Structures are given as structure tokens and as C-alpha cells.
Amino acid sequence: MQMVDGLISNNEMQIMDPRRRLCALANTPRVKAILDISSIPGLEQITADDAEDAQGNFTDTIEVAYLTIQVAIFRKIIDGYVTRTDELSPDVTPIEATGVFKKMVEDNEYSLTKQPDILVKKLHYVLSGCYDKHDEDTNLSLSGIAFNYYGGPDGRRRMDEAVYTALLRSRLLIPSTATYRTCACNARVDLSTDPFHGLCCRAFNNGEAAYATRRSEECERILLDYAKKLAPAVNAQYALEAEGLREQRVGRRADAVTANLVTVKHGNALGGTYFHDVIRNDGTTQSKEVQADIVISTDPGNNQPIRDHLFDVTIREPTAKKIVDESLLQERRIAYGRASEIGVEHKAKQYADAHALRGDARVPVTAYPIVIESNGAITKESANSLRFLATLGCSSMQHAASKVQELRTLLAYTVATNNGLMLTKTTIHSN
């Protein structure tokens, strides 16, 4: 097998059961110490399954093979930074292992031979691109979609060659040819080892809105347009259901049946409506305004309270300084979806006890975070938000799946195109 050359050893290839081989790789101590393998979508299930009752059908085998290569790639990346202590050349002084690397060097079997910050970035970045189509939580991932060629007249799916190349290179961790550069943000970056700087840098654009801002605004716009376009169909569905109910009832009881009415609004147009309580340092509470990106309201009629659903869209970088520093300082293993987790926590704080102020009444609202990682990951909470948005909360809505697919594709292209622009801009604007 030429393809696995250097990724998987001959000994490992001798393991005939593909699942056992995958488990052996996932349990390699240096991988296990640094990565939370079970956080990778689809992996926990396969590695936890009793190998005895594994029904080896074709799809399973392909998926196990795919995951095996994935884990082998992670190990290969790690191996660029660590060496077996007994194979360490005498003129190499190992680097002091901190954070997540502490555990790996604990029994002295392995030593850290290079500053690990780029390794940490690579691992978080590649993890963020993991995708398992059978996983309920990740099947809304945007990972890799932008590399499908759709063709056709839809300009939203076209990208500049330079942008596409930058994107593909970063995705495959192919180093840039640009060595030490001073970025517009004044950071001295070696793009040949740290290709992610452009995704995290917020410094440039010659007065234009930063690509990062544009990227989230475009995603917000896509979701808003989608929801607005869907509203009439959802309202028609509610009207139909109400009519059905009315036919089953008589007299006043029939008249009392009202149809839900859904409206979709851009959060920008809703100043002075939503607030949440913030506790000041001195213990007193202060009411602070919150501004959602998209608001979907359901009015059940009959003077019943309107339910507001507040959506907040944010794109997060898996290689952000905060995340890298955390791995270098804390022993917590590197896991899939960390940027999402931080983003969702942040949003939960921002929307804690959020309510609509209607006169003097505080009407509770529901907040829906949509956190998208720049390399594609969309975790549980955000996937739930997207599913709700895809039907505007109307559970009897038909054919939502194909619309969600369209939505996902548009989001994927928008995020990817702006990523590519961010990556190319660092190279252009640095010197």
C-alpha cells in the first residue's frame, strides 16, 4: 500500500481487523496523551463498539479506512515535533513540555523537540475539518464543501484562483513559500510554518470592512434571506393546520382556533426590544440591551404571548490565540469543536436571562447561537439552531432537508471564500 507509506507501519498493517487497526492507532500513547480521539465525530462509536459484533459491510469498511488515515495523519503531524527519548540525538536538548504535552513526556518515553505552538494550531485546525455524515451533531458541518465543483451560473459558488489555491494549501497544511514577513498587524510571522495567521489576523483591508466582519455578515444575510423566503410557506402550513382543526370543532370553539403566524426580522431593525441582566461588580443588576442578528417570532393569536427566537451568528477560528494558549498552558487534551464550545459559552453569557421588554412585561425569549468554525465544524448547539431555522420552528414543515442542504452550501462557500481572501491578504500585505 503506497498510500499509507509512512503513515501506518507494516506491523500495524498486519492487523487484519480494520477496526482493531484503527483502535491500535488511536491508542498510540503519544496520540492519546495529546488528542481527545473520542471527540472526533464518528470515532468514539467505532472504537467503542465491540469488535466481535462488528458487521463488516462495505460502507463501514470505507469509513473505518477513512478514519484510520485521519488518525494516522494526526500521528504523523505529532511525530514532526516529538522523538522517542532513547532515539534523541545527543546534541538535541528537549523543549520543556507544558500544558497538554506534560503528560506525553511524563514517563520519559517521548521528548518534545520543537516549540509546539504550530503543532497545536495544526491539530485544532485539522480537527475542525473532521466530518462524519452519520453524526447528527456534525452533519451540518461545512467542512470541505467548497471544494466540490458545482459549476452553473451561480456566482456565489465561484472563487478566484488565488483564493482557491490559498484555501486548498491551508486545508492540506501545505506550507506557504512566504517565510519571515511582517504582517500589517506588525506581527513577525513565518507563513511557511504558520499558515494560519491570516485567518486570525484582524488588521488589514485598507479601510474596507475586514474580511472577518464581511464573512459573518454574509453568513447572517444568507440565513436571514433563507428564513424570510421560507416564512410564507410556513404560514401557509399553519393556516392549513388551523383550518383542519376548525373543521373538527363547532361554534365558538371553532372560531377560537387561530393559526400561528411567523415573522422573520433582521436584528438591526429591532433596537430597544431585547435586554438581559448583567450583575455589576458591586452586586447590583443592570439591564443591558442585547442585539440578535435574526429574530423569528411566532404569534399563536388569541392574545397569547408571542414567542421570540433570537439567532446570533458568529464565525470562530480553531487556531485563535486563546485556544492555542489554552493547550499550551492547560493539561486538557486537544479536542474537536473547542472553538465552538468557547463561542457557545460566550453567547450563553451574552444572552443569559434575555427577555423582550413589552411595556413593563418581561417576556422570555429563546436564544439560538450559530457558531461556525472557519474550517467547517458546527457542533451540537449550533446544529440545533440551524435545524430550527431551517423550518422556522414548524415541526410539520415538509422537505426541509433539501433546503438545509442548499443553505449549507451557500454558507460553506461564503466562509471558504472569505477564508481564502484572508489567507492571501496576509501574503500580499506583508513585507
What's CA 300's distance to the chain center, in Å? Answer: 34
Q: Closest CB to Zn ion among 188 and 399?
A: 188
Distance CA 321, CA 50 (A): 39
Distance CA 396, CA 262 (A): 14
Strand ranges across the sheet with 285-289: 285-289, 274-279, 355-358, 361-364
Give the shortest CB-177-to-Zn ion separation in angstroms.
18
Give the shortest CB-219-to-Zn ion separation in angstroms.
22
Contact 297, 263 (CB under 8 A): yes
Strand pairing partners for 373? 316
Give the shortest CB-191-to-Zn ion separation in angstroms.
10
Distance CA 412, CA 419 (A): 10
Closest Cα to residue 324, out of 80, 118, 73?
118
Is 183 near Zn ion (CB under 5 A)? yes
Give the shortest CB-431-to-Zn ion separation in angstroms.
12
Q: Closest CB to Zn ion among 122 and 425?
A: 425
Q: Closest CB to Zn ion among 315 and 422?
A: 422
Distance CA 378, CA 370 (A): 8
Q: Which stretch binds Zn ion (CB under 5 A): 183-191, 247-255, 355-363, 405-413?
A: 183-191
Give the shortest CB-424-to-Zn ion separation in angstroms.
13
Contact 152, 163 (CB under 8 A): no
Distance CA 22, CA 15 (A): 9
Give the shortest CB-193-to-Zn ion separation in angstroms.
15
Is 191 near Zn ion (CB under 5 A)? no
Q: Which stretch binds Zn ion (CB under 5 A): 54-62, 124-132, 181-189, 280-288?
A: 181-189
Give the shortest CB-320-to-Zn ion separation in angstroms.
13
Give the shortest CB-183-to-Zn ion separation in angstroms.
3
Phi, psi of 208 (to 5 degrees): -70, 165
Distance CA 417, CA 378 (A): 18
Contact 7, 72 (CB under 8 A): yes
Residues in the chain: 431
Q: Closest CB to Zn ion among 185 and 328?
A: 185
C-alpha cell at 128: 475542525
Q: Which stretch binds Zn ion (CB under 5 A): 9-17, 61-69, 78-86, 184-192?
A: 184-192
Q: Closest CB to Zn ion among 382 and 426?
A: 426
Q: Closest CB to Zn ion among 15 and 210?
A: 210
Q: Which stretch binds Zn ion (CB under 5 A): 6-14, 174-182, 186-194, 401-409?
A: 186-194
Q: Closest CB to Zn ion among 198 and 337?
A: 198
C-alpha cell at 179: 517565510
Q: Closest CB to Zn ion among 185 and 278?
A: 185
The tally of CA atoms less than 13 A away on the side-chain side of residue 40 is 26
Q: Candidates 4, 88, 178, 185: give the one binding Zn ion (CB under 5 A).
A: 185
> Which 3 state secondary structure label does DSSP give 327?
helix
Q: Using CB under 5 A, which residues numbered 196 to 235 contact Zn ion?
A: 201, 203
Give the shortest CB-124-to-Zn ion separation in angstroms.
18
Contact 64, 46 (CB under 8 A): yes
Number of residues that bind Zn ion (CB under 5 A): 5
Q: Using CB under 5 A, which residues numbered 7 to 46 contact Zn ion?
A: none
Distance CA 306, CA 365 (A): 9
Q: Closest CB to Zn ion among 204 and 388?
A: 204
Q: Which stretch binds Zn ion (CB under 5 A): 40-48, 146-154, 180-188, 217-225?
A: 180-188
Q: Which stretch binds Zn ion (CB under 5 A): 25-33, 185-193, 325-333, 355-363?
A: 185-193
Closest Cα to residue 184, out of 421, 424, 426, 422?
426
Give the shortest CB-204-to-Zn ion separation in angstroms.
7
What's CA 381's distance to the chain center, in Å? Answer: 10
Q: Closest CB to Zn ion among 111 and 430?
A: 430
Residues at the interface with Zn ion (CB under 5 A): 183, 185, 187, 201, 203
